């Protein structure tokens, strides 16, 4: 009876954090396990919109931005809205139009304030926002990197690819095969870009009709003219 009481008293003092985790562990995904087997890359959720944070840096520059992204492989387009250092901008990346110079990019920006005249750019760039299709990992022959705990995304599985056959990228995959972000590396310039998604909404991105697109262009034109007027009146130009 005394032994039983002693065991009970010691057990009652045990901290919950020290309790043995008896949940089943998939040994096939545990590094240094004799049962480890590399899984095949899965299909991912392709159509989504989300908030994003991104930090890009190299030997000379550190740049942090945030915004909203629309990823639509069905339309082969990615729209990226961003804000950073008193600058607002939006890019429409058209993956229907890709050349050796990059992806067709229609970009407008307002900087350094909303009373500044807008700047517009149309050309080809190599953006840090790839078009994510359902077979993004499969098509890029992704290598399983293990289960990791990301400071922002939490518990995710990592997959390594060579994007465009040249750029090392680590893709972070969360529950329900939803991409939580990715890390790019540019060895030539010692560059790195880390991108994380949050408030992710999975589902088709509605395409604007031709009349809606025309209305948007008209609104953008009127806004641009109004902004130029404010710029002239409020001292931007004499």
| Span 65-105, pLDDT tens digits | 999 999 999 999 999 999 988 788 899 999 999 998 889 88
Gyration radius (Cα) of the chain, Å: 24
Short-list 29, 4, 60, CA closest to 148:
29
Q: What confidence tens digit (pLDDT) does each residue in 15-69 have?
A: 444 444 444 567 888 888 888 999 999 999 999 999 999 999 999 999 999 999 9
pLDDT at 184: 94
Domain assignments of the chain as residue spans, ordered by start = 48-202
pLDDT tens per residue across span 174-183: 999 999 999 9
What's domain 48-202's architecture?
A: Clam (2.50)
Q: What is this structure's pTM?
A: 0.75
Closest by CA position to 179, among listed 70, 48, 55:
48
CA dihedral 205, 209, 215, 216 (to 10 degrees): 30
Residues 42 and 135 sit within 8 Å (Cβ to Cβ): no
Do the Cβ atoms of 184 and 193 come closer than 8 Å? yes
The Cα–Cα gap between 83 and 67 comes to 6
CA 12 – CA 4 distance, rounded (Å): 12
More confident residue, 115 or 149: 149
């Amino acid at each position: 009876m005394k032994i039983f009481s002693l065991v009970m008293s010691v057990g009652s003092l045990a901290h919950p954090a020290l309790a043995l985790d008896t949940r089943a562990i998939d040994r096939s995904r545990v590094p240094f396990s004799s049962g480890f087997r590399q899984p095949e890359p899965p299909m991912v959720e392709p159509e989504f919109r989300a908030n994003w944070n991104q930090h890009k840096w190299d030997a000379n520059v550190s740049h942090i931005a945030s915004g909203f992204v629309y990823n639509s492989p069905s339309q082969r387009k990615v729209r990226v809205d961003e804000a950073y250092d008193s600058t607002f901008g939006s890019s429409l990346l058209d993956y229907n139009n890709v050349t050796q110079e990059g992806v067709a990019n229609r970009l407008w920006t307002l900087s350094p304030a909303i009373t500044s005249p807008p700047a517009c750019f149309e050309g080809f760039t190599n953006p840090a926002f790839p078009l994510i299709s359902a077979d993004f990992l499969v098509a890029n022959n992704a290598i399983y990197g293990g289960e990791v705990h990301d400071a922002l995304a939490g518990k995710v599985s990592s997959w390594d690819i060579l994007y465009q056959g040249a750029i090392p990228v680590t893709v972070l995959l969360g529950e329900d095969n939803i991409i939580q972000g990715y890390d790019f590396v540019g060895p030539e310039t010692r560059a790195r870009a880390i991108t994380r998604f949050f408030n992710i909404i999975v589902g088709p991105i509605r395409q604007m009709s031709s009349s809606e697109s025309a209305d948007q262009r008209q609104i953008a034109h009127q806004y641009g003219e109004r902004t130029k007027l404010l710029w002239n009146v409020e001292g931007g130009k004499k």
